[in-house]
Structure 1
Amino acid sequence: MGEPSGGRSPIYMAVLAGVVLVGHYVLALLVLGALAAIDYAFATSGHAYTFGAAGVYAGSVALAWALCRSFWPAVRAERGRRDEVPGVRLEPADHPDLWRRVRALAAQAATEPPARIWLTAEVNAQVRERRRLLGLRRG
């Protein structure tokens, strides 16, 4: 079995990921521009009010709506949810042993410790990370 990256360097894989991320949005904008150009061409031609043109307009609206709707989760994630967690916030000053343990576990996992810890009524653990710029910058 080979490596998942096929033996390519991490820099190559990072650049490729960035190109795919940006390319996705560029392609969507190009498709929206093409739909607008097709609609404009039909509107300025002699066939602006025919049954076929109505189908083209309806198809353009449907495709544009689907494209824009597909980006809505990314827009919501970019803005981040500002609602607070229903529960008790555990401050480092009030619970030093817990925070010391959490920081040690984070260091063991080679990651950053959480900024906040909440105690809720649910029997659950959740980690939520807020990132900016589509996940490329820390939030």
Structure 2
Amino acid sequence: MPLSELVRVAGTRWCIEECFQAAKGQVGLDHYQVRRWTAWHRHITLAKLALAFLTVLAADATSTRPADPDRPVRSTDPVDLTVPEIRHLLGALLSSPSTSVKMLLHWSTWRRHHQAAARRSHYRRRLRALPDS
């Protein structure tokens, strides 16, 4: 087997592992207590469907910006909506109907702006710490 094929398979495995890790953390893929295969299969199917739904929502909410490697340092845009952020917003909407949608969206935008500022600060600090070559 050629080395290029081994690298391709290893890269594919990495994507699959990341997907399973996201499913465990975000939609409870590993939170099942079943004894029969049918019940296990239903749980896994619903968890994967929930993750696919959240992923499609996150991808749809991402704005189409040109690829710019310096964007994290210069941009003042908020961090894009992520699967955990969308999951949190949906959970807040469904669990506490007393909270208004406007307030939840304001909170999410505020939080993502602060995440972007922290990311910019982190990148600047790391760029200053690079040894001069």
TM beyond 0.5:
no
Query: Which protein is richer in strand relative to its size?
Result: 1
Normalised by the length of structure 2, the TM-score is: 0.28
Structure of higher CA gyration radius: 1
Normalised by the length of structure 1, the TM-score is: 0.27
* Higher RCO, Cα 8 Å, sep 6+: 2
Query: Which protein is richer in helix relative to its size?
Result: 2
